[in-house]
């Protein structure tokens, strides 16, 4: 209460609680207060357990936590520019200029490095399961860090998959949620969606668009087949137009991440190498990114979900 002046300055709210600005000694902090006693207990412990034991420049740093009776608080480093969604959507009602291409590239690379660390460099593989712009925070210099580990799942390195109940956010969910066999490649698909949103300056699922354009990833399928990818580039930014060829190369990397068959998607360390220019994007890409029916994704095991999600919950409308 002291640090936040009685929770005075609200920065935002998510599914599990509200976030307030505060000051702890010399450091500005963000305090997440979890709502509802007894609600989100698992998520709270998952977040503390996960983020408390990992450290990476592209993951939001957990300063500390409090769990006293029903009061549960998480204290993070403060991220001055807030979440990415504020900077890539709704340009028309914002005074801030659209992000230039270099800044967008930096954000994409930062997120890729953070995910590569979670998937490949921790003792256990950590699958985030809720990668979306609202969970990507930006510091004063637009360096991006991944936050919100409430849904994450730890996978032992010697197991090939984790079977879990459906979690995450409609519009960012990989097609394999239809079969309920999930690996870290689900994050790769969500990352592909986020890259497309950053490039086009809009949400994947945007009901304010004409009916044929509501779903960005379906639109991507159509535009790549008709060789009109440039149509999807954010029109609010002249800088994006200037760098159109680079932008289209980035889209092709996103498409590799959006492959319906999770085995055909790259590892995040390969994405980082593509972004650094040391390897090329896979050229043999299937231009279908939206599953319309539950399919066998070729993952070992015969796990099935008791109530399979609707296809529209996964990547969007058909």
State the catalytic residues. 130
CA nearest neighbour of 2 among 30, 33, 23, 17 = 23
Q: Are strands 62-68 and 27-34 parallel, antiparallel or unpaired?
A: unpaired
**Residue 146: strand pairing partners:** 59, 136
Write the DSSP string, 303-315.
---SSPPPHHHHT
The label of the residue with tokens 């930096």 reads 106
Residues in the chain: 318
Q: Based on the number of CB atoms within 10 Å of its own CB, is 174 exposed (0-12), middle (13-18) or buried (19 or more)?
A: buried
CA nearest neighbour of 288 among 259, 310, 262 = 259
Per the CB < 8 A criterion, the answer to whether 260 and 289 are in contact is yes
Angstrom CA distances, 161 to 68, 151, 192, 262, stand at 35, 16, 20, 11
Distance separating alpha carbons of residues 231 and 251, to the nearest angstrom: 12
Q: Based on the number of CB atoms within 10 Å of its own CB, is 137 exposed (0-12), middle (13-18) or buried (19 or more)?
A: buried
Number of helices (H), then strands (E), belonging to the chain: the values are 9, 10
The label of the residue with tokens 């730890």 reads 154
Query: Using H for helix, E for strand and C for coil, what is the string for 162-188?
Result: ECCCCCCCCCCCCHHHHCCCECCHHHH
């Amino acid at each position: 209460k002291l640090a936040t002046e009685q929770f005075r300055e609200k920065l935002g709210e998510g599914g599990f609680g509200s976030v307030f600005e505060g000051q702890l000694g010399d450091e500005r902090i963000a305090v997440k207060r979890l709502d509802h006693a007894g609600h989100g207990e698992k998520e709270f412990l998952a977040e503390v357990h996960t983020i408390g034991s990992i450290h990476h420049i592209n993951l939001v740093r957990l300063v500390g936590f409090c769990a006293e009776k029903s009061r549960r608080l998480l204290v993070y480093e403060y991220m001055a520019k807030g979440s990415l969604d504020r900077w890539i959507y709704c340009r028309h009602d914002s005074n801030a200029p659209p992000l230039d291409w270099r800044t967008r590239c930096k954000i994409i690379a930062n997120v890729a490095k953070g995910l590569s660390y979670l998937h490949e460099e921790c003792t256990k593989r950590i699958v985030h399961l809720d990668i979306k712009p609202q969970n990507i925070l930006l510091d004063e210099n637009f360096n991006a860090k991944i936050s919100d580990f409430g849904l994450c799942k730890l996978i032992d390195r010697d197991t090939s998959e984790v079977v879990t109940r459906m979690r995450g956010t409609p519009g960012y969910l990989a097609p394999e949620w239809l079969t309920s066999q999930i690996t870290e490649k689900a994050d790769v698909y969500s990352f592909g969606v986020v890259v497309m949103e950053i490039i086009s300056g809009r949400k994947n699922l945007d009901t304010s668009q004409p009916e044929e354009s509501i779903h960005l990833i379906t639109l991507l399928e159509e535009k790549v087949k008709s060789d009109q990818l440039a149509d999807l580039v954010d029109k609010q930014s002249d800088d994006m137009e200037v760098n159109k060829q680079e932008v289209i190369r980035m889209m092709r990397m996103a498409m590799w991440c959006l492959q319906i068959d999770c085995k055909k998607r790259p590892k995040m360390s390969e994405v980082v190498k593509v972004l650094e220019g040391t390897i090329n994007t896979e050229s043999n890409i299937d231009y279908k990114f939206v599953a319309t029916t539950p399919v066998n994704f070729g993952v070992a095991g015969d796990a099935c979900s008791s109530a399979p999600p609707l296809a529209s919950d996964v990547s969007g409308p058909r």
